[in-house]
Amino acid sequence: MKQKNSGCVPLHAVIWAMDPFQMDTTPNWDSVRELTRWVKAGKLALQPVHILSMPRPEGSRHVGLHHYVPAAQKLTDQSVHALGMSRALPAVVITEKSSSTADAVRKILCLSGEVDSPLIVVSSHGRSGIGRLMFGSFSEKLLLTSRHPVLFLNHSEVSASVSPTSRVLFPTDFSTFSFRAFVRFLRDLTSKDSEVIVLHAISLYAMVATDYGATGAFSVPENYFSEQERLANDEGVKWKQAAQALGVPVRFVIADSGYSCNVAECIFDIAEREQVSLIAMASVSGELKSIVAGSVARDVIRKQMYPVWVCGPTLLQEDTQSSKRVSQA
């Protein structure tokens, strides 16, 4: 297999960022099964990667990290083997003198760019509240800056009862960014026999955030929910056409969450009802409505109920700019 980077990671390998020293980031079997299905169906190489860094007290001499590489590689390989990932390549350990989270993310993104990885995989933190500490550092930095889709594996002690199906739930607000993420997901989907369920949750979430943030008050228009359902059905035509063009079966679900602003809970309710094995969605930032969409994605990841495939803002913005250049050419 051709090599493009330093010679140890094959081109187009799925990069799995692992930390074998943090036992509470061990993914559950449902997540592992989903990752195995994705890699096997696409005939992709799965490359576990550990960024080895060591905090250095002020004024102390730097300890050579290379002395710890063999032990870190052995422990990473043992962690992968314990999860039954027979398709995984031997682990790669990359040293980073800095203990900065941003530098660790940069190392992962540089490697992913060098090998043109189709996907980065990361385990979310297992402590209560997804270790908002963990998500607020490595995971969130990776989500915000990655030029590749990210698959978050949920923790071994926190999950829904996931059925071994190939059913995927794609929640959407029907924004342009969400549509681009949808098309990207369908193109990257390695198992074309998967059924994709597109979910639009009609909620006051975005309207409250926009109107209340601007005026300090909001009012619900007459026939708001029925009008939103009509608009969703009209917009869904384009989404169905995109799925048909790529040969992926798609089904639409429109859920009325009433006056609740908790879109994430609505997503979990539908995911459980439909017995999905994966949630895929866009996460964006910028204008107020986009920030709302981004916060929903982060809420879904934090709950750790399902493995979650996410297209982050950097990737979506680059896709948008690329499409503009093509249309102007």
Reported as a single tens digit per residue, the pLDDT across 224-279 is 778 888 889 999 999 999 999 999 999 999 987 655 567 888 899 999 999 999 99
* 145 and 216 within one domain: no
> What CA–CA distance (Å, rounded) separates 280 from 245?
19
- Same-domain status, 133 and 213: no
Task: Please identify, among 153, 179, 214, the residue that sits at the C-terminal boundary of a domain.
Answer: 153
Domain that holds residue 77: 14-153
Quickly list DSSP for 79-129: HHHHTT-TTBPPPEEEEES---HHHHHHHHHHHHHHTT-S-EEEEPP-SGG
160 found inside a domain: no
The last residue of a domain, from among 153, 186, 204: 153
How many distinct structural domains can be found in the chain? 2
Task: Indicate if 234 and 127 belong to the same structural domain.
Answer: no
Q: Are residues 119 and 21 in the same domain?
A: yes
Helix (H) or strand (E) run with residue 316 in it: helix 313-328
Q: Say whether both 25 and 148 belong to one domain.
A: yes
Q: Is residue 1 part of a domain?
A: no
pTM reported for the whole predicted model:
0.84
Asked if residue 253 is part of any domain, the answer here is yes
Pick from 127, 153, 179: which residue ends a domain?
Answer: 153
What number of other Cβ atoms are within 10 A of residue 213's Cβ? 12
Q: How far apart are CA 6 and CA 107, in angstroms?
A: 13
Distance, CA of 247 to CA of 240 (rounded, Å): 10
235 and 178 inside one domain = yes
Residues 27 and 126 in one domain: yes
CB atoms within 10 A of CB 302: 22
> Both 187 and 321 in a single domain?
yes
**Residue 8 covered by a domain:** no
Two tokens, residue 155: 């923790």
Pair (22, 100) in one structural domain: yes
Q: Is residue 147 part of a domain?
A: yes
Pick the closest to residue 308 from 155, 134, 205 (CA basis).
155
* pLDDT tens-digit readout, 47-74: 999 999 865 544 445 557 788 889 999 9
Chain-centroid distance of CA 319 in Å reads: 17
Residue pLDDT tens, the chain, 329 long: 343 445 588 999 999 998 877 766 678 877 888 888 888 888 899 999 999 986 554 444 555 778 888 999 999 999 898 888 888 999 999 998 888 888 999 999 999 999 999 999 997 654 433 333 344 478 888 888 999 999 998 875 555 555 556 899 999 989 899 999 999 999 988 777 789 999 998 876 555 555 444 455 556 677 877 888 888 999 999 999 999 999 999 999 998 765 556 788 889 999 999 999 999 999 875 443 444 455 788 888 888 889 999 998 888 877 655 555 444 44
Could you tell me the two tokens for 241? 């056409």
